[in-house]
Structure 1
Amino acid sequence: MSNLINLKNARVQNAPLPGFLASRVARYYEERVQKSWSGGHIMKGRVPGADALHLSSNDYLSIARHPEIVDAMARCIRSEGNGLLMSGVFLHGDDCPQLHLEDRLASYMHADAGVLCQSGFAANTGLIQSIASAQTPVYVDMMAHMSLWEGVRSAGAQAVSFFHNDVDHLEQRIQRFGPGIVIVDSVYSTNGSVCPLTAVADVCAEHDCVLVVDESHSLGTHGPNGAGLVVELGLTDRVHFRTASLAKAFAGRAGFVTCSREFHEYFKCESLPAIFSSTLLPHEVMGLAATLDVIERDDWRRSAVASNARYLRERLTDLGYNLNDSQSQIIALEAGPEPQTIVLRDALETRGIFGSVFCAPATAQNRSLVRLSINAALTADELERIVEVCDEIRDEVELDKWPSTRRNANRKPARVRALQSAPVAVAA
């Protein structure tokens, strides 16, 4: 017994890191923690109080605690436990709940077939790794999700970036490097901007490219019954693959890939995340099935989140915030340099508004921001509270000095800028 006590009280010793790794870790603490964050942490501010408004969750439809979903998961845990723990590649049979859910999600998204993955990250990396190779140019919007870039890297393919939402630049790149794979998000998670999907699909069709659309932030919130932006725009026959994280509007923990029936089998035997990760647990499958019931039925949730987001976008724009073309439930306040974003974070959190801090590598250097994720449950009073706080802090956070504010001023039409800068005639 005394030996056990001594072991518990002994200080755990890790193997010392070799120089090449120790210097890399030290550089993080020196360059970011000390210089950029003044010894603190950009993502660790105040602890929310009881009256805090949480705008950091991706639960856009406010269903994470929905009783139908919770009850379905609880019943399944009691009856099935964690089920059979194995790779999803082994799943088969007419009575398999996960395969039934795959078919149901595919039908919901107007697709021939689909594959459930462990996460949106696994869906994206697994898909790109399965369709790209070293001989394939992959055209990626500069603001596409990092998991898509990681998929290109893991495939050993050539990543060719194009300017955000710039269809002309995309076409120029394709004309230079040849047919390949085009990757975009329908709604971009960093700033809430929306992809010009119809124009992108036109370019892909003209140049014989495969089109991949990540619908993580539009599935559930856009389209008929929440089926996504691709369905809303009538592009299902022009988009080869759609992916989605079900940790956003679906408030779960999984990913999904739409594809043809033939590709469905190929993916499960080619995608490394599909082969070498365990399948979803039974209660996760049952929870997602119940979630789909709620999302298909409750159109009012989509209307509420769209209305709430529209109201805030209009009011914050009127206050002088550059929202970087947000057209969705994602609203980004881009302070720029990380020290300035910490000032913004603290100003908001002191007043009970908690968003998500985005910084490199989630953003470009010196384009860090606080992201506000708008949900369906926000009341009129809470929306007004957000507006009042953002109004109150403008001088404190030096909004007029933000790089995004200056960019916004420079985007005004030349005639408007000329009128604003012209001398004012004073009546005699």
Structure 2
Amino acid sequence: MPREPEFLRARVDDYHVRRKVDLWQGCHPLQGRTPRPGDIKVRSNDYLCLADHPHVIESEIAALRTGGHGDAVSRVWVHHERDVICEFEQRVAQLMRAEDCVVCASGYTANVGLIQSFATRGAPVYLDMKAHISLHEGVVSAGARPVLFRHNDPQSLDRMLAQNGPGLVCVDALYSTDGDLAPLKEFVEVCERHGGALVVDETHSFGAQGPGGAGLVVAAGLAERVHFRTVGLSKAVASRGGLVVSSRRNIEYFRYESLPTIFSTSVMQHEVAGFDAVLDILQREDWRRDKLHANHTYLRQGLDALGYNVAASKTQIIALEPGDIRQTTVLRDALEKRGVFGAIFFPPATPDKRCIIRFTVNCGLSRHELDRIIEVCGEIREEVGMAEWRSTKRKFAGGAGTVQATKQREKAAASRLGRSRVLNSWLNNRKLNREGGSDVDLGTTRDRASGPLDNHPAK
């Protein structure tokens, strides 16, 4: 290898020395244990368990046998030919109640290309502080001016639009770190009042939410009032690729203006055959969404009863927030030692002091597996210092004290869940936060509201 110039060495040293050695004690946080047979994995985005569905696999194999990998060219050369990709795009547009749709190489390039195409140089682009990093990257590509507003705060957006004028407004329908939902109706009203154009990333909601998996915009009855929707196909669709959904006029413009679309080879035809097969399943197997929602509700209630702060989540994404990377690694190791594997998130995916372990629930988890996750999370509370987490203190700020409040929550949850085996066990063996035989009152401890540190975008 050639001798590296100083600027290159300094850049890479920042990773190898400052982060890997000094901050992470020589091991990257993503390098935890390897799951063993029988371990429970709640870190995949395959929410509906379609990655190995026979209909999807057989459809892709059939497409490979008849058409190989396809033409291996950019979609800019298609010229509206009626191929399998065009037919899939029209099916998606119909499902999402839009005029047109275009397939992109990934959800990331869909977002980058959309902002790069429709935002003008120097114009304001409004981004929720937790909007996905690809939307921020699109602003950079466009040479536009990013204007951040407080997370899920229509009033903050209203003020920013009043000060800076009309522009694209970018939000996620369902946020990928803590599973909360955007107030879409309120954002639509603010955009309409100020002449803004709303962009909603439905990556984590498409397939899992809404009628037939159409997403949260359709579920809210807002399909005719939202200008753009984007989708990454690596979540409920369990593949790769992306979508942009909008009017026919906008989609035609996008096809010939989006740099990632122009300069990327199209997704392969056998992949699109798999996408198309997933649409079949989404529209005929509602039980998958029903089971998914039942599973994440059950798990969230169990974790809440044990004192974990999971209040932000309303969906299949549930986050445990220990604090900094050291605390979060302790939690990760405690879970993995007992056979529960979530996903660790840390900077740049989160703020420094709000690292998380994310559980992504799927429809295939059994009640036994969910009970085991709850049991493990109860067992490790003292080991991981849960009572001292800032998220725990936020949960009980202004309340009646950690142990007393947890006791009430455990009893309520046990009643709701039919007094499950795990919760009954913890009703009889609470170990949450006792020091010297007395309860520690966290009722007067408050944490700051979300603010600028919450703008670390990741998915």
SS of match in other structure, 1:381: helix
Residue 268 of structure 2 is aligned with which of 259, 281, 291?
A: 281
Structure 2 residues without counterparts, runs of 5 or longer: 406-440, 445-459
Partner residue in 1 for 2:24: 37
Q: Distance in 2 between matches of 1:183 and 1:157?
A: 13
Partner residue in 1 for 2:208: 221
Shift, 1:135, TM fit? 3.1
* TM-score with structure 1 setting the length: 0.92
Partner residue in 2 for 1:4: none
Shift, 1:421, TM fit? 6.3
Cα distance per residue 1:93-145 (max 9 Å; x no partner): 54311111111111111110011000000100000111112232111111111
Structure 1 position 153 matched with structure 2 position 140: yes
- Report the residue type matching 2:255 in the other structure: K
- Report the residue type matching 1:357 in the other structure: I
Residue 290 of structure 1 is aligned with which of 277, 292, 313?
A: 277
Q: Distance in 2 between matches of 1:196 and 1:207?
A: 17
Query: Bigger shift: 272-281 or 312-321?
Result: 312-321
- Report the residue type matching 1:289 in the other structure: D
Partner residue in 2 for 1:162: 149
Structure 1 position 270 matched with structure 2 position 254: no
Structure 1 position 349 matched with structure 2 position 349: no
Partner residue in 2 for 1:388: 375
SS of match in other structure, 1:202: helix
Map 1:23-34 → 2, pairs under 5 A:
23-34=10-21
Partner residue in 1 for 2:345: 358
Q: Distance in 1 between matches of 2:94 and 2:322?
A: 42
SS of match in other structure, 1:335: strand
Cα distance per residue 1:324-362 (max 9 Å; x no partner): 511110001111110111111111111111111111111
SS of match in other structure, 2:231: strand
Map 1:88-99 → 2, pairs under 5 A:
88-99=75-86
Map 1:12-27 → 2, pairs under 5 A:
14-27=1-14
- Report the residue type matching 1:197 in the other structure: L
Structure 1 position 77 matched with structure 2 position 77: no
Q: Distance in 2 between matches of 1:140 and 1:345?
A: 31
Shift, 1:15, TM fit? 2.2
Shift, 1:276, TM fit? 0.1
Query: Bigger shift: 154-163 or 400-409?
Result: 400-409
Contact 1:186/1:218 (CA < 8 Å) preserved in 2? yes
Contact 2:150/2:156 (CA < 8 Å) preserved in 1? yes
Partner residue in 1 for 2:437: none
The alpha-carbon distance between structure 1 residues 396 and 80, as it changes in their structure 2 partners (threshold 3 A), is same
- Report the residue type matching 2:69 in the other structure: N
Query: Bigger shift: 222-231 or 92-101?
Result: 92-101
Contact 2:400/2:443 (CA < 8 Å) preserved in 1? no
Contact 1:92/1:99 (CA < 8 Å) preserved in 2? no
Shift, 1:278, TM fit? 0.2
Q: Distance in 2 between matches of 1:284 and 1:98?
A: 9
Map 1:294-309 → 2, pairs under 5 A:
294-309=281-296
* TM-score with structure 2 setting the length: 0.86
Contact 2:114/2:258 (CA < 8 Å) preserved in 1? yes
Q: Distance in 2 between matches of 1:16 and 1:231?
A: 56
The percent identity for this pair of structures is 47
Cα distance per residue 1:251-302 (max 9 Å; x no partner): 1111001011111111011000110000111110111111110111110000
Contact 1:191/1:324 (CA < 8 Å) preserved in 2? no
Residue 167 of structure 2 is aligned with which of 180, 200, 204?
A: 180
- Report the residue type matching 1:365 in the other structure: D
Shift, 1:91, TM fit? 1.3
Structure 1 residues without counterparts, runs of 5 or longer: 1-13, 423-428
Residue 320 of structure 1 is aligned with which of 300, 307, 323?
A: 307
